[in-house]
Amino acid sequence: MNAQEFDKKVQLKWVNKSEIITNINTEVLELPLLDNKYFDENFIPYYFEQWNVSNNIQVDTYIISNIVYKNIDKDLYPLESHKYFPSKLTSKFIIKHARDKAFAQLKLIPLVFENGRLKKIVSFEIKYSFKPKNSNKNANSLHNSPLASGNWYKFAVNKTGVFKLDKSFLKSIGVNVNSINPKNIQLYGNGGAMLPEPNSVFRHDGLQENAIYVKGEEDNSFDSNDYILFYAQGSD
């Protein structure tokens, strides 16, 4: 069976406002926002899209081309922050399984720091192909609950944004901060948005680990000045 080839043109929708982000070095950045608000482990926004595909295929090849960039006003970001942005296009294209459904997922960082300027991607084209799966069971469909081990503490967020957890907050939810190694801290959650009604829309089949930044983890203790930063989607 020959690989199936496809072509998709994407127009990114940037909203007419920016988001104030505190990055992992506590630098304050004012960044443009995409209509779908996702942030990576450095709190840099990324574009995410998915669509239904057949259950019996896997990605063969893909290429991003015909990229259109637009410069971002230099006043919106400190010059030293360029180290957090990729110097070239960064993307990932995979097949993800949830229950009996399969989805093609495209993740792309729409910001590039090049020749001393921060640029945002306005549009691009992706050409991709699929091929039959090598096995009867895709590894992405396997799921082991993280709740099966470790000590768990539950809290809620009621709005979307970047949140800071300090020593006093961890104490308030029952964490023994005097014995915890901050390098072992993990945070899980699937966001507070309403679940989609159509069954065809992708849903995670378990808790998803969230990206976090832990200040002061180098000494293996959680001290008074240490804290955790993470981005979460609330119910607002």
Structure tokens at 102: 């399969």
pTM score, two decimals?
A: 0.56
Q: Which of 15-29, 95-109, 144-158 has the lowest mean pLDDT?
A: 15-29
Where are the chain's structural domains?
4-135, 143-232
The yes-or-no verdict on residue 10 having pLDDT over 90 is yes
Question: Model confidence over 24-65: pLDDT tens digits?
Answer: 556 666 666 677 667 776 667 889 999 999 988 889 999 999
Residue 145 is given by DSSP the state -
pLDDT score for 25: 57
pLDDT at residue 86, as a whole number: 85
* Residue where the block lists tokens 């990055």: 23
pLDDT of res. 140: 45
pLDDT of residue 227: 92
The residues, any chain, with a CB within 8 Å of residue 80's CB and separated by 6 or more, are: 27
Per the prediction, the chain carries an average pLDDT of 79
The pLDDT score that the predictor gives to residue 18 is 66
pLDDT at 191 over 80: no
Check whether 100 has a pLDDT greater than 70. yes
Residue 158 has pLDDT above 60, yes or no: yes
Give the C-alpha distances (Å, rounded to integers) separating 127 from 8, 11, 143, 171, 207: 6, 15, 30, 50, 32
More confident residue, 72 or 144: 72
From 205, 227, 217, 196, select the one nearest 146 (Cα to Cα).
205
What is the structure's pLDDT at 233?
76
